[in-house]
Structure 1
Amino acid sequence: MTGIKLAGLCGSAAAAALMVFASPAMAQVQEQTYRFDLPAQGLGSALRAFGQASRQQIIFSEGSVRGRQAPALVGTFTADDGLTRLLAGSGLTVTRTRSGVVTVGNEPARAGNATTDGATEGARDLSELVVTGSRIRRTDTTSSSPVTMVTAADLTERGYTQVGDMLNQLTSNTPSFAQPPFSGVPAGSGQTYPNLLNLGAGRTLTLINGRRMVATSDNFGDRGVDVNIIPAGLIDRIDVVQAGGAAVYGSDAIGGVVNYILKDNFEGMEVDTQYGISSHGDDKRPSARVTFGKNFAGGRGNFAADIEYSKTDPLLEQDREFFKSGTRSITNLANTSLTDGRPPTAIILNGHQWRYNTNGVIFTTNTTAPTGLLRNGSGQALQFAADGSMVIPYDTGIIGPNSSSASGGEGLDSRRLSTLATGVQRYTGTLVGHYDLTDHIKASTELLYSHQKGDDEIGTQGLVKFVGGFAPGGQGPVSFTRNNPFLTAAQIATLSAASPAFAAGGPLVLSKMYDVIPQNRNTKTDVWRLLAALDGDFNFADRDFYWSVSASHGETKTRQTVLDFDIAKTNNAFSAARNGAGQIVCAINADAITTNDDPACVAFNPFINGGNEAATAYFSVPVGGSTRNKQDDFLATLSGDVISLPAGKAKFALTYEHRAENAKFNPFEANLSGITGQGESFAESGKYNTDEFSGELLIPIVGGDFTLPFVEALDVNGSYRFVDNSLAGKEEVWGIGGNWTVGWGLGLRASRSRNFSAPTLGQQFAPTSVNPGNPAQDPCDRTLINSGPNAAARLANCQALFAAHPEYGPLASFNDPAINTGLVALTVGGNPNLENEVSKTWTYGLVYTPKYVPGLTLSVDRIQIDLTNGLSSFTINNFLSVCYDTQPQQTSFCDTFTRNSQGYLTTGRETTFNAGSVLYRGEVYNFNYRFPIGRFFGGEDYGSLEVAAEATHTSRQETSVTGFDLTRSQDTPSAPDWRIRYDLRYSKGPLKLFYSLYYLPSVRANATATIESTPVPVIKANYQHTVSAQYDFGDFTVRGGVANLTDEHPSFNSRIYGDLYGRRFFVGVTARY
């Protein structure tokens, strides 16, 4: 933490120095000049191109530029001079908001109204626009909630071709990567979902142009929209509202809102290509994009199309040096007590699973102890050779105490158990257009299509038959005798010499992982949405009103496939015998029983690698399924002026939204039948509809010509939303806020809101299956009865249970075998009785834009969120804990499991339940200072410099699944105390240089980690540097850069705290026609 404190002090000192030593005279020094080469075009397109060239944030309403043409702008000008030339003759004016954003709007009110109140209020009436976080049109970008803006230039300078990569750089967003949290589990589908404030991806709402998008997730977890379906070529900006927004936009806006604003007046053609590669020679990232747009009908209409392709390859653990060590944990024999300064486990390098490998380790019995290894006369453990031709010595490595791990040896390399990162292939096509039916009515449409394929190269562990495996699930080891027809005489002799019992006809056990099928887990996702809208404005009773209606239909189809094994057929194939003709066949086809014959069965040779293709084809089956989400959304809004007040116009917005969604899940045949040992699955479907009404009100109290000491402007706003969901029921949410401009560039803001998130269709209707369970932690077991979050309640409840059931025996000696074995049959599925989860949110902060330091903006906001009735994924252990650790007992939780006559747990349930809670406390910081370097050197043109910093501080984050347990996550890899990003930009004419530092401080491995509990209790700080350069030659721009310049890897011992890929290079070119 010392480094971060030092960085913060340096940043504060620098800002203070600027404020103290900068003088008003500095503002008079000649501003930075820029080189422009803009052809004559529609004004909207010209303003966007101008903003990118000068790095100005320019906001305008489409209505104000509609039908207007901009002249060519060629030469070197200051930003103000260039903008004045661009707007010459347009009748539009320019102003800057207190946050430094440029707004372009109309001249004063209509002719004929010169004597109205509106005309006497001030010099001009800017065109009104909608700012994310509200549907009220206003003349500035002021918001009572913290808002961060991302532009298309932010992607380009970092070499990003997918929007999700940029969102991962936002410090208020928890990065989402297609990687497993630990070895041995799938890496995922490759989709990226925003997760603001680490509250969960389902608690961040995604909008496109202020409207909802169909979920691209499978809808059986969090509801989310994959960031990478967004067309990068049509991005105008991305508005990110931190904390809340449900009263304006509806469900899911708890952590905040991400609104993708697409370009509405793109003209010309852009062809963009880029290629990236890592310094390791892998992670190749080709991408291509074509964007085309054109005005028509004299500027009354415009259409634009964007087609994009990008690809990233899968990454394996052996591809990276920092994972080649294969770290694993073993029991630390040096640990003698809880206070000796030694952890209970130790980390070993070059870790292997000694109990099995791909050759086949031989045991005398089905035991996980080293004593069960078959050894020759020299004491060497034995295995089969790679080609299965002979039995050879096996190097176990140095086996850890009571562990499946060994350092070194020939056991299975643990890095082969999962992909490090999923590969993604992506195609998108987008068409947007609008046409002015009249001067006051606009028709528009959006069509978006995306096809994405995720390639998890080791998405399954394949066929693993190992000692200690769960036999009913097909993972038990292979038992064989000397009568196995695949054994050679030499092998039988070697094995018999090592085991007299085998020589006498007894069995041995083979523990092996079989590389017999592709391990790829493929996920294909197709998404499309079509939207049609009408927008208009009118004047009534000397008040301006705006209206909008839109209707959209969207669909997502997802299909996930991986190969698995039919347990019955696998057992048939592994049991071989010779028939009457001496041929090796499946034993079921060689015995005297004809009712169990299977002509398709092919005997499997368990001792070799390869050569079993026919047998593998017999017992391997595709598993997975397909899901389809559909969404129909109708949205109608009316907004406008209420009354003119001394400080300005009071404004309102009314909204009605009707949304209908349905989801279907169709498992594959193997899943339906349960033949792979995972239990039967069932096709499921569900649907709901919701009717929602909302209203907003904005009241200016002080402002314009009406000011007070220390109050240049003051406004308050309120919002309310009523929700009637056909499944989750009725809900009411609200928000209030205010903005206070004190003066001298200082503004204060605050908001208070109640937000909600409705359960997903998946959480309500997930397909039901009955699976062999994992070990269950029975609270009444004698080893656990005095533990838990409420030990007294646990003891009392268990005593009452055993008193009511004397057949269970004495409680003091009760030992449930379910603790150590998967004996509980688990029913897994949805819960149709779920309710909305709700949160209460506070935000308050300041924005400082001192006029005597032009170009400087500083903002700080505090965020407090309390979520209750949270939608939690409940395991049987969660149900058990709530049942026994609370008083009085909650029967709805206790009814989810059963016991047999001995008191042992026999059945249980896993589903989603309303019981969780989340508490979040933190702040977001933004600093930006942009200035011409010549300001400090006599006005010479040395280019301009922009210094920016963004930080999110999480001071407290606590999560409860059951409502009774509590897990602190701040100061851990998932929620570090700080995330900080520094950006430095230099530009002079056509040249732009960029540097960025993304910083993660040191954190604890978990909330309670100490050297007494964890071998590496502190995860070290992590730094990622990015540099790039681009040069604009007029018709085309070339760029190049290096991401992760110093080739930093994830901090030891973590795979998520840092960058997996290492140093990466990229080059690209954008051609304009």
Structure 2
Amino acid sequence: MLNNRVSKAVRLAIAFGAASSATFAGQVMAAGEEGADKVERIEVTGSRIKRTDLETAVPVTTIGKAEIGETGTLNIQDILSRSPIALAGSDQTSSAFTTTSVGLNTTELRGLSEERTLILVNGRRFVSGMIPSAGYAVDLNAIPARLIERIDVLKSASSAIYGSDAVAGVVNIILRDDIEGVEVSGQTGLSDRGDREKHSLNVTLGNTWDSGNAWISMGYDTDKGIKAVDRSFSARDIAATDDGIVVSNSSYPPGARIQHSKLTDDEGKAIRTSYNGDGTPYNHAQNSFNRSEFRQLATPIERKYISGSLNIEVSDNVTAFAEFQWNNAATDGSTIEPVPMNISSDVWKTDVGSQTLGMSIDSPLIPDLLRTNLRADGVENLNETLFVRRLFEFGPRDTSLERDTTRVATGFNWDIDGNWALDTYATYGQTTQTQQNGGQMNVERARFALDAEEVDGVIRCKDEQARLQGCVPLNLFGANTVTPEALAYVTSPAKVYGKVEQSVVSSVISGELPYEFDGGLLAMAAGVEYRYEKGVAQPGDLAQVGAATTNKAAPTSGSFSATDVFVEFSLPVLENVRIDLAARASDHSVVGDTFTYNIGAEYRATDTLMLRTSYATAVRTPNVADLYGGRGETFASVTAPCDGLKADGTGLDNATVAANCMKDPAVAARVQEQGIFELTLFETQGIGGTLGGSEDVKEETADTFSIGAVWQATDELAFTVDYFDVKIEDAITQLTRTTVITRCYESTDFTVGCNGAYVRNPNTGALTDVHTSSTNENTIEVSGVDLEIDYRVDTDYGTFGSALIYTYTDKWTTTSQTTGAAEESVGEVETPKHRFNLNLTYGYEDINARWRARYWHSVVDTNQTQRLPDAYHNIDSVMYHDASIGYSLFDDTKFTFGINNVFDKKPPLLPRGVSSMTTANTNSRAYDIEGRSYFLNFETKF
């Protein structure tokens, strides 16, 4: 029965290109011709032991070459993220607002983060494509879709088989090795709006001979992206309110805004008073700034790549191989709005030695009307105000970067005696990233340029040394008031460089031991692996000292190594029962020893039904960013714990916090002097701090369980169903700074400063800095059910096929191990209860067609306290439809035309105020932001 199923899987793979069900996983790896009575042992994803059966105790979903080619994707991340079991980590839409990660394409299984999804190429690790200060993830841009035979997605933890990071599962990308002659392929695409142009061209040359094969492939891809103003849902800055959706825009206008709270109403409450830079009253509706004009929905990207492979029989029983990949991914001109500058904190409160504490309203730069109005309100120095401005004259913040990824792998397979085999390989990979960020200001020079005087009717910089260095007064009071000379003086180049390196050496011996069970011989695999990771990230010089409008950032530099030994056994204890065992012990240079294991069981109840279950432990050891990430400045809002404390000890809800606040001399002095510790608006908004890595962070651990069944109902119909449960403990994360300061003051063992966690101004008691870093904090629990159904039937009118992949998520809970507070995410935007893909295929002679439906269930804005009306809190389900049709003009030439999002389904509107929004007024990780699009590709061989 099994051999027949293998041969049928091969035939169906040839007819349709791929099956999605785990029932047919590994199909194209099967050796032998159609109808053969015996199938050679093959290696399947999820095991180092070669075996004759394709189903294992752990579920695997396969995406085949045809499905990749017939969806118009240039990047395999696109097709992975459309699967119900994966979510985009970073892509050209979700990374549009970032800098160091812009243009990345990564994936995360079950939404459990890209760091917890292990990416393999031909069963071997691939180097990270992310700058080491930002995190760790393989950039799927580096693996051209045209070279892929299939993608196996192992939907279970597998650290005992593959090592660290395989917590959510494994994505194993299998490259082609059957290339003969010359292959040329290309594609062009366009959205229904006439943008998002995509073009690709690939040339591959290959040859096969008696003792081996070789191929080399070269290609070029380009994707021109989408601007936010070119879609109605993202063309404006909008917000959701009780009264409906309103245009919100940014309160950092190009003409400046000066706000103070000097005036009070009849009840003595402070009145916020705002002026434009020219002194006229600030009106938000008229003077605010639409940031969307400068934003992009999808960043442009350009790729060039060369890949090659060589397999050769060195002798009758030794085969050697070598692989090479080089990829250059460039993003040129990714833009967001000009810098929003808070002069009060960014210039006058920096830590670069400034003695300037503001600007007197007698400064010749201040317009007369503004001076008159501020003085009438009781303002004598702008350090008493919130002084903000959009640096419009500096142009948009643009990012131009290049990532170069190079990877080589080489090794050999030694067939020792027809039973035992030794597989040994070594890989080296590196990714370098160079980038230039535009639109930035040199804050140190700006401080001198804002400190001006008038001499003989001429306004000049006060500092004589600065004047000798070319200082020109910087007028920020009004729109388009910055002169070209001032712009040239204060403009700051912002360069970033990063490099990550990975080296792996591994050797595995596998075969059958002379111990026979009722079902056959005991099979085993055992091996050793050494891995070395190193990373550096170098921000620009001015960024390192905090002298640029970009956040201050320290360099990142660090490395670690891990030596693993592992063993795997497959015990056919009965003719219809198999037990799989695996274990791995690792010695990590930073976190020390770790141990993981897998236990799996298969029970073939009948010729057509197999029951399976598995239990596995897994680890994710910290990466370079977790351990050594340079501390970067952040100004995310912080809730100050002592704000409102009164001299009689009241004003705060927590008595412990109140008592601890009074232990802080600066806070106690202000309470004693003023009767209350009440922060000003400037003090509340000016709480800085840093976040970064920590060498104290330890590994996170996971326990995973699955149980399910594989049922070959008929030769044409197959089902798989699997329940999964994942529990991650000591999850590595970055605590919010509010959490850090809150825990500090709620502690019964409080010490001033909390070991450097915060800094207060010794004169005012106001928080100036709160720091956070990598830590082991949360427990994450995810559970649900995966269902896959495959149906294929041959008729006189063609071959019909359908494949359903469905995921039901029952639980997605994050619990703080410190406080016990739990948040349930199931039913929120990125974690719907139900997701499925339905693929319908048809093939007849030279024609093949595909229709795919993608479903995302209805969700809510948040499961926490509802803040918005139902109209914006509840988000309806979405169904997308894609279609393609291919025609083989000759035996070796094929054209495919396709339409994605056939019915031009618009994404749900998620404006500001909705917790799950992105900068595009929707969630691009969940919904299609491009709209209807078309593609045409061709491939030919000669």
Tell me whether the two structures share a fold, i.e. TM-score over 0.5: yes
Q: Deviations over 1:722-747 (max 9, x none)?
A: 00011111101001001111115221
Partner amino acid, structure 1, of 2:426: A
Counterpart in 1 of 2:338? 461
Worse-matched range after superposition: 569-578 or 280-289: 569-578
Q: Please show how residues 709-724 of structure 1 align to structure 2 within 5 Å.
A: 713-724=576-587
Instruction: Tell me the equivalent position of 1:260.
Output: 173
Q: Give the 3 Å change call, closer, same or farther, for CA 780–146 of structure 1 in structure 2.
A: farther
Deviations 1:449-504 (A, max 9, x none): 11112346324633646899885369x999797984898xxxx7x889999969x9
CA drift at 1:808 = 2.9
Q: How does 1:633-712 map to 2 (within 5 A)?
A: 633-642=504-513, 643-676=515-548, 681-703=553-575
Matched-pair contact (CA < 8 Å) for 1:871–1:916: yes
Equivalent residues of 1:237, 1:260 under 8 A apart: yes
Aligned partners of 1:986, 1:833: CA distance in 2, in Å? 56
User: 2:519, 2:373 → 1: CA distance?
Assistant: 96
Alignment of 1:744-783 (within 5 A): 745-768=608-631, 771=633, 773-779=635-641, 781=643
* Aligned twin of 2:437: 562
Q: Summarize the alignment of residues 663-1062 of structure 1 with structure 2, pairs less than 5 Å apart.
A: 663-676=535-548, 681-703=553-575, 713-743=576-606, 745-768=608-631, 771=633, 773-779=635-641, 781=643, 795-796=655-656, 799=659, 802=662, 808=668, 815=677, 817=679, 821-824=684-687, 826-850=689-713, 853-884=714-745, 896-897=757-758, 905-932=767-794, 934=795, 941-960=796-815, 963-964=818-819, 965-1008=821-864, 1010=866, 1016-1033=872-889, 1034-1053=891-910, 1054=917, 1055-1056=922-923, 1057-1062=926-931
Q: Distance in 2 between matches of 1:648 and 1:308?
A: 48
The whole-number CA distance in structure 2 between the counterparts of 1:656 and 1:232 is 31
Rg larger in 1 or in 2?
Answer: 1
- Deviation readout 1:38-69 (Å, 9 max, x if unpaired): xxxxxxxxx9999444546699xxxxxxxxxx
CA contact (8 A) 2:805 2:837 kept: yes
Does structure 2 conserve the Cα–Cα contact (< 8 Å) formed by 1:178 and 1:187? no
> 8 Å contact 1:926–1:949 — kept in the other structure?
yes
Other-structure match for 2:329:
452
Aligned pair 1:304/2:215, yes or no?
yes
Instruction: Indicate if the aligned counterparts of 1:473 and 1:677 stay in contact, CA closer than 8 A.
Output: no
Return the offset for 1:973: 0.9
For residues 634 and 292 of structure 1, the distance between their equivalents in structure 2, rounded to whole angstroms, comes to 29
Deviations 1:1026-1066 (A, max 9, x none): 11111011231111111111112221225114111111111
Selected match of 1:516 from 380, 394, 405: 394
Aligned AA (2:907): P
Does the CA-based 8 Å contact 1:216-1:226 persist in structure 2?
yes
Does the CA-based 8 Å contact 1:626-1:666 persist in structure 2? yes
Partner of 2:913: none
Distance 1:143 1:799 in 2: 60
| SS of structure 1 residue aligned to 2:111 | coil
- The structure 2 residue matched to 1:372, chosen from 273, 294, 303, is 273
1:1069 and 2:941 matched = no
1:320 and 2:320 correspond? no
In the alignment, the residues of structure 2 paired with residue 722 and residue 500 of structure 1 have an alpha-carbon distance, to the nearest angstrom, of 72
Question: Any idea what the Cα deviations from partners look like across 1:174-197, whole Å, max 9, x if unmatched?
Answer: 124536769976694111112001
Equivalent residue, structure 2, for 1:113: none
The separation in 2 between residues aligned to 1:128 and 1:269, in whole angstroms, is: 31
The CA deviation at 1:434 is: 0.8
| Inter-CA distance 478–882: structure 2 relative to 1 (3 Å threshold) | closer
TM superposition shift of 1:314? 3.3
Name whichever of 639-648 and 1011-1020 sits farther off: 1011-1020
- In the alignment, structure 1 residue 246 sits paired with structure 2 residue 246: no
Distance 1:247 1:413, change over 3 A: same
The code of the aligned residue for 1:1029 comes to I
Q: Does 1:612 align with 2:488?
A: no
Structure 1 counterpart of 2:707, one-letter code: Y
| Counterpart for residue 317 of structure 2 | 440
The equivalent of 1:544 in structure 2 is 419
Secondary structure at the aligned position of 1:260 is classed as: strand
Which residue identity lines up with residue 350 of structure 1 in the other structure? V
Contact 1:186 1:458 in 2 (8 A): no
Give a deviation string over 1:199-231, Cα, whole Å, max 9, x none.
Answer: 111000011111111111112343210112112
Structure 1 letter corresponding to 2:861: A
Q: 1:501 to 1:813 in 2, by over 3 A?
A: closer
Contact 1:994 1:1029 in 2 (8 A): yes
Tell me which of 461, 468, 471 is aligned to 1:587: 461
Over 3 Å counting, the alpha-carbon distance change for 1:633 and 1:273 in structure 2 is same
* Structure 1 alignment gaps of length 5 or more: 1-23, 33-46, 60-95, 108-122, 333-345, 375-381, 385-390, 400-405, 704-712, 785-790, 935-940
Letter in 2 for 1:641: E
Letter in 2 for 1:638: I
Q: 1:695 to 1:372 in 2, by over 3 A?
A: same
Indicate how the Cα distance of structure 1 residues 383 and 162 shifts in structure 2: closer, same or farther if over 3 A, else same: same
Query: Scaled by the length of structure 2, what TM-score is found?
Result: 0.86
Contact 1:633/1:660 (8 A) holds in 2: yes
Give the conservation status (yes or no) of the 8 Å contact 1:421–1:456. no
Could you say what secondary structure the match of 1:972 adopts? Answer: coil
The 5 Å alignment of 1:19-34 reads none
Aligned residues: 898
In structure 2, relative to structure 1, the CA distance for the partners of 1:621 and 1:483 (3 Å cut) is closer
Counterpart code for 1:999: Y
1:152 and 2:48 are equivalent in the alignment: no
Give CA deviations for 1:304-363 in whole Å, capped at 9, x if unaligned. 111122122232221101223532245x5xxxxxxxxxxxxx54333333x4533x2676
Deviating more after overlay: 971-980 vs 669-678: 669-678
Q: Is the 8 A contact 2:96 2:102 kept in 1?
A: no
The one-character-per-residue Cα deviations of 1:240-276 (angstroms, maximum 9, x if unpaired) are 0012010011000000001111112321221111111
Q: Can you list the C-alpha shifts for 1:637-656, whole angstroms capped at 9, x where unaligned?
A: 00000133331222000010
The residue type equivalent to 2:883 in the other structure is V
Look up the SS of the partner of 1:458 in the other structure. Answer: strand
Instruction: Give the match's secondary structure for 2:131.
Output: coil
Q: 1:202 aligns with which of 115, 127, 141?
A: 115
- Structure 2 CA distance for partners of 1:750 and 1:569, relative to 1, 3 Å: same
- Residue 594 and residue 307 in structure 1: after superposition, are their counterparts in 2 closer, same or farther (change >3 A)? same
In the alignment, the residues of structure 1 paired with residue 184 and residue 757 of structure 2 have an alpha-carbon distance, to the nearest angstrom, of 58
In structure 2, list runs of 5 or more residues that go unmatched. 264-269, 647-651, 911-916
Structure 1 partner of 2:267 = none
* Counterpart position of 1:600: 470
**Letter matched to residue 916 of structure 1:** N
Aligned-partner residue type, residue 555 of structure 1: Q
The amino acid that maps onto 2:245 is I
Residue of structure 2 equivalent to 1:217: 130
Kept after mapping to 2: 8 A contact 1:647/1:702:
yes
Q: Cα deviation per residue 1:608-632 (whole Å; 9 max; x = unaligned)?
A: 5388333222211122421111111
Counterpart amino acid of residue 405 in structure 2: V
State the alpha-carbon separation in 2 of the partners of residues 549 and 196 from structure 1: 29
Aligned residues of 1:875 and 1:910 also touching (Cα < 8 A) = yes
